[in-house]
Amino acid sequence: MPNLLSIPFKRTVAVPIRQKTKDYILAHHTDTHPDAFKWDINRWESLRKDATGCVVHVNSVKVALSYHAQLVYILTKLPNDIGLDIPYTAAFNSSDPPQTLANLSYERAAVLFNLAALHSQLSAVEDRSNIKGLKQVMLHSQNAAGTLNYLKSSALPKLQESLAPTDMPLDFTDQFLSSLEALMLAQAQEAVWQRAILENYKNGVIAKLAAKVATYYGISLACLKEGPPAIQRAFPSGWIAHLETKQLHFEAVAQFRKSVDELEANRYGKELARLTQALALAKNGYDIARRGSVTAAVVSDIKSLLDTLQKNHSRAERDNDLIYHEDVPSLSSLPAIVEVSMVHPLISAALSDPKTAIGDDAVIFGELVAYGARIAIEIYKDRRKNWIQEEIIDRAQRLDDVATSTLRSLNLPAALEALERPVGLPPSLLKKADEALDFLDQEAEEDEVFQAGLPGVRAASQEANKELTTKAEKYRSILQQAGASDQVVRAKWDEWEQNITELTWSNEDLEAAVPSTTVSMASRIDAGDKNSTQSHARQLRVLLESLGGIQRERAQSVARVKWLAESEDITPRVLKAATAIERWVEVQPSMFEDLLDEALEKYTKFREDLEAGEQRQEVLLESITGRNQLFLQSRKEDPSVTDRERALQSLDLAYHKYREVTRNLDEGVQFYNDFGKILTQFRETCRDWAVRRRDEMQYVLILRKGPSSLKIAVSAAN
């Protein structure tokens, strides 16, 4: 039996690449059709089938490297999660249910892990009785170490970023991979040591090589012992005993070879000291090997070394006692054996520069727009929407509210219209009444559509696991809070419903409801007071019309900015910038930051217009306040005028309350529309979770029936 360890494969089954990729393209690339990528999808399926076949042959290395290179490129075009669930078993526990993740970086990491496993298995089957075989052991073991090193440095960080810590597979943790990497280097260095013996290197050199073998085994062992207990349990029961035995074996070998070197230099006391240390190490290693579940070859190797050491120690001790009589120094006083490493992690050029592994093959999804560019477009749309809402729409509404509040506190324009039109209805009130009818009709239509389209997810959430159930409770709480907000709006409507309803009356009914002041004004205002009052009223009307002009300009600015946003399409600019980025570079949304800022800059002129209007409005409101005081002082007190003012003010205030309620309703509709999408996605998540659970159970049942059933299932899936 071999005395080298090999890494087992992580097993997988066929996955629905075709369907999930088509679904993703249809959902996120509306400017193209999945059929345009028929070759790409077929090539992906074919490569994955070949690369995950777990065939131990040297030709499988090229297949795995090619598939990994394509995955690297695919990840520049697609996000980690395209809805494709990918299952892989644990390396050392293939009988357990696989861990399934909807994550393409998981696929890439598993492919790299299996490539390292392939190199280790190719190394283990080589004939180590000759130089040629030892060279292949050294090459494959170093490639295995290099692949694991590349997995840790390149693929693992991206996988960690995309997963919650609790979702990270155990055999992708740093301690797990570092232990395997050190093991592969130890076995490569062991092949170097064995070759040195076959080629009759000097004992001092062989000792230095053996010392480094022991160090590598020690590093591998330390990574396991320093990690959490779960990592140690993930390895076979005899794995740790194997590493401990090997470490002690080569520490003993190093001391033994150095003792021969001491003997050749006539340093008999040092020879005996090193033999004593070597013998103690070998005995310890042999005891561990016998107790642990290590291979017979490992036990035989250290037993053979122990026998050799016992013979040499007895001979050296006898010779020194009878002939040389040299003092035997303590081991701590002896010079340490200088370690020499002849191996290092070999990272294939096809890994460090993946495009070299493609060869004549075309890249998969070479014509698909990069995912990062798509995200940049969505980021810009969200940023533009939020900026316009906060800097233009909300700001304009606040300014309108300030103007409305100020006029309301001054009883304007009701007081002015009560004087100017002693009978009938003011034009401003008629306009607002007509608008109210339009708003009611529009709101009724929108509410009917909304109520018909509201989705429900209760049944789906009840089937979810604890995490999904917790999320469902969170969503239910949000809906309860939204219901409370709805009640506030409802109360506001109930308070003002009667006044708002009056705005829907006919002109004749409204006119009858508003008191007239014709007779009273004629009898109570003398000519002088009337002229003064009318003068102030005219100037006040001019100021109010100027304020109305500012408000109309503001409304036009809001309308223009909305139109500009609706007509703007930044997609061509982003796509043009994306094509300028070097291929094989993962496109990140941050690469388009300057372009997005520049595109958003054109909207700042609308904010500048609002700021200018705000300054003009402040001046006008101050003037209106002052002129209104003069108007009130000049006007005779008349109860009928006061009643008419109150009636007109009540109707005017009802109009503004109606606008306030409709804004609340619009916000509520937007909330429920957006939340409905979230709940729909939540429903899909719960459904997918249940499907995965059923698939995992089927997989367990297949495994329990034996390897032949698994082979049949894989063939059927393919």
DSSP string, 393-409: IHHHHHHHHHHHHHHHH
pLDDT at 436: 44
C-alpha–C-alpha distance, residues 86 and 94, integer Å? 15
pLDDT at 639: 52
The candidate with the shortest Cα–Cα distance to 350, out of 359, 342, 341, is 359
Decide if 47 contacts 62 (C-beta within 8 A).
Answer: no
CATH architecture entry for 17-357: Alpha Horseshoe (1.25)
Encoded tokens for 512:
């009858």
The three-state secondary structure class of 99 is strand
C-alpha–C-alpha distance, residues 182 and 203, integer Å? 25
Q: What are the angstrom distances between the C-alpha of 294 and each of 70, 184, 285, 459, 617?
A: 40, 18, 11, 53, 89
The CA-based angle 34-38-39, given to 5 degrees, is 145
Residues forming CATH 1.20.120.560 domain(s) in the chain = 371-424+514-637
C-alpha–C-alpha distance, residues 499 and 433, integer Å? 11
**What count of residues does the chain have?**
718
Residues forming CATH 1.25.40.280 domain(s) in the chain = 17-357
C-alpha–C-alpha distance, residues 248 and 240, integer Å? 12
pLDDT at 393: 92
In sequence order, what are the beta bridge partners of 100?
87
pLDDT at 359: 78
C-alpha–C-alpha distance, residues 651 and 509, integer Å? 13
The answer for residues whose C-beta is within 8 angstroms of residue 388's C-beta and 6 or more apart is 561, 562, 565, 603
Q: What are the angstrom distances between the C-alpha of 223 and each of 220, 232, 249?
A: 5, 9, 19
Cβ neighbours of 661 (radius 10 Å): 20
Which residue has tokens 């694991």?
Answer: 148
Q: What is the 3-state secondary structure (H, E, C) of 237-296?
A: CCHHHHHHHHHHHHHHHHHHHHHHHHHHCCCHHHHHHHHHHHHHHHHHHHHHHHHCCCCH
CA 317 to chain centre: 67
pLDDT at 408: 85
pLDDT at 630: 83
Label the pairing between strands 86-88 and 99-101.
antiparallel
The H or E element that residue 186 is part of is helix 174-198
CATH architecture entry for 371-424+514-637: Up-down Bundle (1.20)
The three-state secondary structure class of 670 is helix
Rounded to a whole number of angstroms, the distance between the first and last alpha carbons of the chain is 36
pLDDT at 101: 97
pLDDT at 487: 79
pLDDT at 462: 42
C-alpha–C-alpha distance, residues 634 and 628, integer Å? 10
Q: Which residues of the chain have pLDDT under 50?
A: 1, 423-425, 429-430, 432-433, 435-437, 439-444, 446-447, 449-451, 454-464, 518-528, 638, 710, 714, 716-718
pLDDT at 686: 62
